[in-house]
Each structure stands twice: as C-alpha cells, then as structure tokens.
C-alpha cells in the first residue's frame, strides 16, 4: 500500500516523513459518518532518492520485512500451541492420564501466550537501531 508523505526533517541519510494515518475502513468518512480523526504519524526512512525537507514523497512497505514479521507474529505462537499440545497428549496417553485433551489445551494456550510475551520482550529490546519497514519509491513533488 503506497502512501504519500511530507519530508519534515533530514538527519544524515535518514528522513522523517509525516504521513496521514489511514483507517481500516478506507477513510470514506462521508459514507459512514463515523467521525474518524485523521492522525498524522512520523516515519523514519532511508533517503535513497536524495529528497530534501519540504518534498512530497511516495513510500511503500518493504515486502520481505512484513512477511518475516507476519511469520514471527503468527506462525511461532501457533507452532508452540500445536507442538506443546501434541507432546502433552502423547505424554498423557503414555502415562494413562484421563482428560488429557483439556489439560493439554490449557497448557498449549499457556505456551502460546508465553510465545507472544517472548516476542513482545524481544521486540522491545531489539527496536533500537532497527531499519524502517518503509522505503521511498519516488518523489512526487520536489521543493525548490
């Protein structure tokens, strides 16, 4: 999803671009009268097109970064859920424990929650120095 933004600051090879945050409904406020407020967010992007302050640029998300983030957020906790449930069902059957599905579901959901917590902690610690998920695709309007 490409978006236009306004360059507000230059810091070496990095730019700060101001972008109007879009809503999930597609910003058709005239259709729904939902009263959505258009918030502005600042995004740090590497200056690959020699843009300067005042330029309007088009940015788009980096597909590989988004795919790897989606894998981490969805597949790892789901894998922890399935693996822990499968191992516990096998272990309980081996030991002859009754109601093994209910116990393994509870433990599996706990392991899934633990997976999300670990992802949250690692994300907070690694957020410093992380590259932007956005990249500049073109300059729409050059400030003269």
Residue-level pLDDT at 90: 86
- Rounded average pLDDT over 45-57: 86
Least confident of 25-29, 76-80, 84-88: 25-29
CB atoms closer than 10 angstroms to residue 57: 23
Beta bridge partners of 3: 59
Q: Is the pLDDT of residue 27 over 60?
A: no
Q: How far is CA 86 from the centre of its chain?
A: 29
Task: Tell me the average pLDDT of the chain.
Answer: 81
Please give the Cα distance from 8 to 73 (Å, whole number).
Answer: 32
Confidence of residue 83 (pLDDT cuts 50, 70, 90): very high
Please give the Cα distance from 17 to 48 (Å, whole number).
Answer: 13
Please give the Cα distance from 78 to 66 (Å, whole number).
Answer: 18
Please give the Cα distance from 68 to 120 (Å, whole number).
Answer: 15
Q: Is the pLDDT of residue 130 over 80?
A: no
């Amino acid at each position: 999803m490409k978006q236009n933004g306004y360059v507000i600051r230059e810091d070496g090879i990095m730019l700060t671009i101001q972008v109007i945050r879009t809503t999930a409904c597609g910003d058709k406020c005239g259709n729904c009268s939902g009263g959505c407020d258009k918030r502005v967010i600042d995004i740090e992007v590497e200056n690959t097109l020699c843009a300067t302050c005042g330029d309007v640029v088009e940015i788009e998300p980096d597909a590989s970064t988004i795919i790897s983030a989606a894998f981490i957020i969805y597949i790892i906790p789901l894998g922890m859920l399935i693996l822990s449930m499968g191992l516990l069902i096998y272990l309980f059957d081996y030991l002859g424990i009754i109601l093994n599905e209910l116990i393994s579901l509870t433990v599996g959901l706990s392991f899934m929650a633990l997976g999300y917590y670990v992802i949250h902690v690692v994300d907070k610690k690694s957020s410093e120095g992380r590259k932007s998920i956005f990249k500049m695709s073109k300059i729409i309007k050059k400030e003269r």
